[in-house]
Chain A
Amino acid sequence: MSEAPDTARRVAFRGGGFAPTPRRFVGAAVFILLIVLAEIGTRTGVISPLTLPKPSDVLATFGDLYRSGLLWKHLGPSLSRLAVGATLGVSLGISVGILIGLFSYIRAGLVPLVAALFPIPKIALLPLFVIWFGIDEGSKYALIAFGTFTPTVVATYGAVDNVDRTLIRMGQSFGLSWVSIVRKIVLPGAMPGILSGLRISLAIAIILLVAAEMLGAEYGIGAYILEAGALYDLERLFAGVVILSVLGVLVSMAIGLIERRLLVWRV
């Protein structure tokens, strides 16, 4: 055993990969690379200014927007619409999702209804919402709320279904009350699923924000983008789109933070 024979070959390593590990700054680098490429392309003329605006021009437009104070004038109403609409939709969605998860009759009654509502393009209902809730903020809140409601319901009842049944049996075996089992076992157990559903719901809320501001909104990021689009003002269009993207990234980061705080127990 001491001397390796001539035929000895080292066993090749083949167990790597399939395990994502965090890589810092790579995400930022991709963004920067794409922007730099666009800048070089538009400056050299490879990309015509009609196809894509110069990133530096977009930045300048954004600077103007900020200096003129219009940025906050647009962002303020948008954020409040997003906050009110999403809060309504998400809280209602979580409540209904939990009820579906807990009660067979409610499940039998509402799951088909939710399945019927889910694929409706909420934008198509905008005229209806205007009639129901008025052309003012009401219809905008309703659109965002409705759009976030269905994915939240589906994520929530799925999460409740996935709560470990042995934990619920354990609670019953110790004589815990129904309320205690729901509050101390079902809800915390469903939290990971609810939070990952929230990521999707809030992204949808941002999408619908633009749709909501298509009608009768003087200020708002959506109104700003639509106005720029109508005028083919690509710099302003892109400045607006970038604001939405940043909003999306911030929301996702916020949920990530909440997850890290609430779900430290996850293995």
Chain B
Amino acid sequence: MDIRLSGISHSYGEVEVMRDITLDVPSGRIVCIVGPSGCGKSTLLRFIGGLERPDRGEVLQLGAPPTGCLNPLTYVFQDFALLPWRSVAGNIALVLEDHGLPRAQMDEIIQDVLARTKLSDFAQALPKQLSGGMKQRVAIARAMAVNPAVMLMDEPLSALDSQTRELLMDDLIGLWTRTPFTAVYVTHNLAEAVRLGHSIVVLSRRPGQIREVVHLDMPLAERGLGDPDLDRKQQYLWALMRDEARAADAELIHV
């Protein structure tokens, strides 16, 4: 299933945050969206998943979601959004319970996603017992449990320290290499974008417009830390964004 954004524009009151964004997210690819703070990256992601409605333009799902898909558009949030009163397994069960699956099948799905995210030993732990990286792995496991057609990842690694981020990036690459998934990955971190993105959409500062779409052909599994090609791409992206980022930083926030 592909996602097509056509002519998305949006304002919050007087403030125009986004102007005429048209973008295709092809199946089986990771599209990263980068841009200076306040450019509407996260808003765009909320439009794609239907958590917010744009003023103009539309988001289209092209084709049917794969069989066995319980929630085609599934988010991974920056702050994990785990229920603190439920165990790891309980948090994953939460998103399966409404679908009327037999108990055995639910357990099977939970076992499977926990194994894939290397969390099998922590099924009964409460979120407060977990480190930030583990919490995000639980959130990723929860997202995979519903077998999504498209993962919508909103700065999923931004709340983590740089070492954990590195580990989780390896995990994500591993997950994608085994079973390629479609994802829209919003980040302000260019290193993440060049490691994970098949294409990188650079947004301008407010009102957010697409400045450039950078394609990376190197297979995800071959992209290592400090790879010279990737570094060049990252520098190129930074050159595109630097002035915008500086200007965005100096802007007053309209509340």
Complex CA distance for A185 and B128, rounded to whole angstroms: 17
The reply to whether the CB of A167 lies closer than 8 angstroms to some CB of chain B is yes
- B83–A188 contact, CB under 8 A? yes
Complex CA distance for A167 and B85, rounded to whole angstroms: 12
Interface pick from A71-79, A112-120, A175-183, A215-223: A175-183
A-chain residues with CB within 8 Å of residue B81 when the two chains form the complex: 166-167, 169-170
- B98–A180 contact, CB under 8 A? yes
With A177-B98, A180-B97, A265-B85 as given contacts, are A170 and B128 in contact (CB-CB < 8 Å)?
no
The reply to whether the CB of A14 lies closer than 8 angstroms to some CB of chain B is no
- B75–A170 contact, CB under 8 A? yes
Complex CA distance for A163 and B81, rounded to whole angstroms: 12
- Within A145-177, the residues touching B (CB, 8 Å) are 166-167, 169-177
The reply to whether the CB of A184 lies closer than 8 angstroms to some CB of chain B is yes
Interface string of A29-47 (1 = CB under 8 A from B): 0000000000000000000
For B143, the closest partner residue in chain A by CB is A174
A-chain residues with CB within 8 Å of residue B74 when the two chains form the complex: 173-174
- B51–A172 contact, CB under 8 A? yes
The reply to whether the CB of B181 lies closer than 8 angstroms to some CB of chain A is no
The reply to whether the CB of A1 lies closer than 8 angstroms to some CB of chain B is no
For B142, the closest partner residue in chain A by CB is A174
Complex CA distance for A267 and B142, rounded to whole angstroms: 22
With A166-B79, A265-B84 as given contacts, are A174 and B51 in contact (CB-CB < 8 Å)?
no
How many chain A residues have a CB neighbour from B under 8 Å? 21
B-chain residues with CB within 8 Å of residue A175 when the two chains form the complex: 70-71, 98
Interface string of B48-75 (1 = CB under 8 A from A): 0101000000000000000000110111
Interface string of B144-181 (1 = CB under 8 A from A): 00100000000000000000000000000000000000
The reply to whether the CB of B94 lies closer than 8 angstroms to some CB of chain A is yes
- A265–B49 contact, CB under 8 A? no
Complex CA distance for A267 and B77, rounded to whole angstroms: 20
B-chain residues with CB within 8 Å of residue A169 when the two chains form the complex: 51, 81
Complex CA distance for A267 and B71, rounded to whole angstroms: 31
The reply to whether the CB of A266 lies closer than 8 angstroms to some CB of chain B is yes
- A174–B95 contact, CB under 8 A? yes
How many chain B residues have a CB neighbour from A under 8 Å? 23
Complex CA distance for A14 and B149, rounded to whole angstroms: 55
Complex CA distance for A185 and B86, rounded to whole angstroms: 10
With A170-B77, A264-B126, A267-B128 as given contacts, are A176 and B98 in contact (CB-CB < 8 Å)?
yes
A-chain residues with CB within 8 Å of residue B127 when the two chains form the complex: 265
Inter-chain contact count A-B, CB under 8 Å? 52
Complex CA distance for A79 and B205, rounded to whole angstroms: 66
A-chain residues with CB within 8 Å of residue B71 when the two chains form the complex: 173-175
B-chain residues with CB within 8 Å of residue A184 when the two chains form the complex: 83, 94, 97
Complex CA distance for A189 and B84, rounded to whole angstroms: 9
The interface residues of chain A, by DSSP majority, are classed as helix
B-chain residues with CB within 8 Å of residue A174 when the two chains form the complex: 71, 74, 94-95, 142, 146
Min CB–CB distance A168 → chain B (angstroms): 9
For B85, the closest partner residue in chain A by CB is A265
Our pick among A172, A177, A185, A267 for the contact of B83 (Cβ within 8 Å) is A185
Min CB–CB distance B42 → chain A (angstroms): 12
B-chain residues with CB within 8 Å of residue A263 when the two chains form the complex: 85
For B50, the closest partner residue in chain A by CB is A173
Complex CA distance for A173 and B94, rounded to whole angstroms: 12
- B79–A176 contact, CB under 8 A? no
A-chain residues with CB within 8 Å of residue B77 when the two chains form the complex: 166, 170
Complex CA distance for A180 and B95, rounded to whole angstroms: 10
Complex CA distance for A263 and B94, rounded to whole angstroms: 18
Complex CA distance for A11 and B158, rounded to whole angstroms: 36
Our pick among B75, B79, B85 for the contact of A173 (Cβ within 8 Å) is B75
Complex CA distance for A68 and B177, rounded to whole angstroms: 82
Complex CA distance for A257 and B205, rounded to whole angstroms: 53
For A171, the closest partner residue in chain B by CB is B94
Min CB–CB distance B187 → chain A (angstroms): 18
Complex CA distance for A224 and B83, rounded to whole angstroms: 49
Min CB–CB distance B102 → chain A (angstroms): 18
Q: Sort A-B residue pairs by CB-CB distance and give the 7 closest, nearest first.
A: A170-B81, A265-B85, A174-B95, A173-B75, A265-B84, A267-B128, A188-B85
24 A–B pairs (Cβ distance < 8 Å), ordered by A: A166-B77, A166-B81, A169-B51, A169-B81, A170-B77, A170-B81, A172-B51, A173-B51, A173-B74, A175-B98, A176-B95, A176-B98, A180-B97, A184-B83, A184-B97, A188-B83, A188-B85, A189-B85, A263-B85, A264-B126, A265-B85, A265-B86, A266-B128, A267-B128
